[in-house]
Amino acid sequence: GIQVEQSPPDLILQEGANSTLWCNFSDSVNNLQWFHQNPWGQLINLFYIPSGTKQNGRLSATTVATERYSLLYISSSQTTDSGVYFCASYGSSNTGKLIFGQGTTLQVKP
């Protein structure tokens, strides 16, 4: 099945800095979602982005399916951005199995 790899595994930023989180997958994908898991465990949908670029406030995401990667860009980071960021994909078959990467743990310091 599809493998999803995220990098970096850990990231520490000073408030106000920008950062890019990467998601690479081993096979073609039909769906790519980015999630933010806050310190209380809530998994928040950030983007559903099978291809192209989307922006939502200080966050933007780009998926290039032909090159098998997606990236999440966080600008002007805030302490509330801290948590774990996951990307996930179904892969090329309609099995209902959303395959998650291991996550990037982000800590934003004031």
CB atoms closer than 10 angstroms to residue 6: 21
Token representation of residue 103:
């996550």
Token representation of residue 5:
């790899």
Contact region for another protein (CB under 8 A) — 11-19, 25-33, 57-65, 67-75? 25-33
- Please identify which residue in 3, 28, 30, 107 interacts with another protein, judged by CB under 8 A: 30
> Coil, strand or helix: which one is 67?
helix
Query: Quick check: 56 binds another protein (CB under 8 A)?
Result: no
- Nearest Cα neighbor of 8 from 25, 20, 26, 17 is 20
Size of interface with another protein, in residues (CB under 8 A): 23
Q: Please report, as residue ranges, which positions from 71 to 110 form the binding site for another protein (by CB under 8 A).
A: 86, 88, 90, 94-98, 100-103
Q: How far is the CB of 5 from another protein (least distance, A)?
A: 11
Beta bridge partners of 59: 56, 74
Strands 10-14 and 104-109: parallel
Q: Which residues lie near another protein (CB under 8 A)?
A: 30-31, 33, 35, 40-43, 45, 48, 50, 86, 88, 90, 94-98, 100-103
